A and B are shown apart, each in its own frame.
Chain A
């Protein structure tokens, strides 16, 4: 099984937030869940459950997977806050968003 990992590096120091890994299924030509909100530093993994190839490509080019065959995974660690919109380049009607918040889970 192919496992691809990429890390977005930002100037800010990593947060100390609770960062349990999250998984997004690519299923029936949709990202599920289509929208998630995570703490900075969270590892997010997309898993292709479809029989056809998909990809995960950030709008603006911040990150991109290779073509993901059935069962292939693509992992990103979001180190910095922001709203990351992405699509499948093979099926651009497929769209998802990862909201990264630096304040989530931090001690008061």
Chain B
């Protein structure tokens, strides 16, 4: 398999024609597994452990950038329900709602309930903590974590860690996980074999994508210290409403598309926020991710799929 550079990969994205790109990462070098049409994707995922990532649904948002966030979410759900090879479950990496209102949580739960999957694992985004901190989030999704917000679980030999990095904002700086959660993480990982694949879920990127916009986690390095001994670590984030990837040793970082609205690329606008694109292009910048455990590979493969593919 030929190595591809980031330029090559971006060229592939630019030449998008209804196909998904399957990414694999090995030895610190990102490699495209090839442009995969849906049949090939299905074949690659056939019989494998797969799950899907949904992020930044922002239920309650109703502005020019997207006047129908429930509609675009339902298109994404339809795509997932139509996948050949049923994912084991979904993860939602935060900003379920736009304003943390109870009616937004209710509507989000109702619509996400249309996913034909057994369960969804959630982490909160900062938009889910605007009304009395984690109260609204934990009222619905606190059972996984005994009402702490952060938790872990195991599935198909993969250890999943769900973190909260949307509560501890300090003036003019990045958000953080905080010492208590870092202690818990160290303890949670302590009994695991280094060969256990790890997936980390957190809303805000666990690497500094762009500090002036707060797109990073101040104490992520301390969390990563506990993760470096593992042979395969996949970090799945949301928050920035666009796909970005970074590799550090055995750790790969992936931010995801939103199902609600895009945001500008780092530094390309005066500030982050909803980006209005031409109506016919909106579906090309919204989407979901499928994650596949490929036998014989340390790293998990990710497939980012927009809701408009033609």
A70 near B171 with CB under 8 A, answer: no
If A57-B169, A92-B170, A95-B171 touch, whether A52 touches B273 (CB-CB below 8 Å) is: yes
B172 near A95 with CB under 8 A, answer: yes
B64 near A87 with CB under 8 A, answer: no
If A29-B271, A69-B99, A93-B212 touch, whether A87 touches B169 (CB-CB below 8 Å) is: yes
B108 within 8 A of A: no
In the bound assembly, the distance between CA atoms of A89 and B129 in angstroms comes to: 10
Mask of B90-114 contacts with A, CB within 8 angstroms, 1/0: 0000000011100000000000000
Inter-chain contacts of A69 with B (CB < 8 A): 99
Q: Chain B: interface residue count, which band? A: 20 to 34
A34 within 8 A of B: no
Scan residues 84-102 of chain A and give those whose CB is less than 8 A from a CB of chain B: 85, 87, 89-93, 95
Inter-chain contacts of B273 with A (CB < 8 A): 29, 50-52
A91 near B271 with CB under 8 A, answer: yes
In the bound assembly, the distance between CA atoms of A43 and B247 in angstroms comes to: 50
Scan residues 166-220 of chain B and give those whose CB is less than 8 A from a CB of chain A: 169-175, 212-214
Q: Is the interface of B mostly helix, strand, loop or mixed?
A: loop
Inter-chain contacts of B214 with A (CB < 8 A): 91-93
Shortest beta-carbon distance from B40 to chain A in Å:
39
In the bound assembly, the distance between CA atoms of A50 and B130 in angstroms comes to: 17
In the bound assembly, the distance between CA atoms of A77 and B274 in angstroms comes to: 32
B63 within 8 A of A: yes
A15 within 8 A of B: no
Greatest chain B CB density within 10 A among A51, A85, A90 is at A90
Inter-chain contacts of A90 with B (CB < 8 A): 126-127, 130
The number of A-B residue pairs with CB atoms under 8 Å apart is 64
B281 within 8 A of A: no
Q: Chain A: interface residue count, which band? A: 20 to 34
Inter-chain contacts of B266 with A (CB < 8 A): none
B38 within 8 A of A: no
Mask of A8-34 contacts with B, CB within 8 angstroms, 1/0: 000000000000000000001100000
Choice from A29, A53, A87 contacting B171 with Cβ under 8 Å: A87
A81 within 8 A of B: no
In the bound assembly, the distance between CA atoms of A67 and B126 in angstroms comes to: 10
Q: Could you jot down 13 A-B contacts, CB within 8 Å?
A: A29-B270, A51-B63, A52-B274, A53-B99, A55-B130, A59-B170, A67-B98, A67-B99, A67-B127, A90-B126, A91-B272, A92-B214, A95-B172
Contacts from A to B (Cβ < 8 Å): 28-29, 50-53, 55, 57, 59, 66-67, 69-70, 85, 87, 89-93, 95
A51-B274, A52-B63 given; name 19 further pairs at CB < 8 Å.
A50-B273, A51-B63, A51-B273, A52-B273, A53-B99, A66-B99, A67-B99, A67-B131, A69-B99, A87-B169, A87-B171, A87-B172, A89-B126, A91-B213, A92-B169, A92-B172, A93-B172, A93-B214, A95-B172
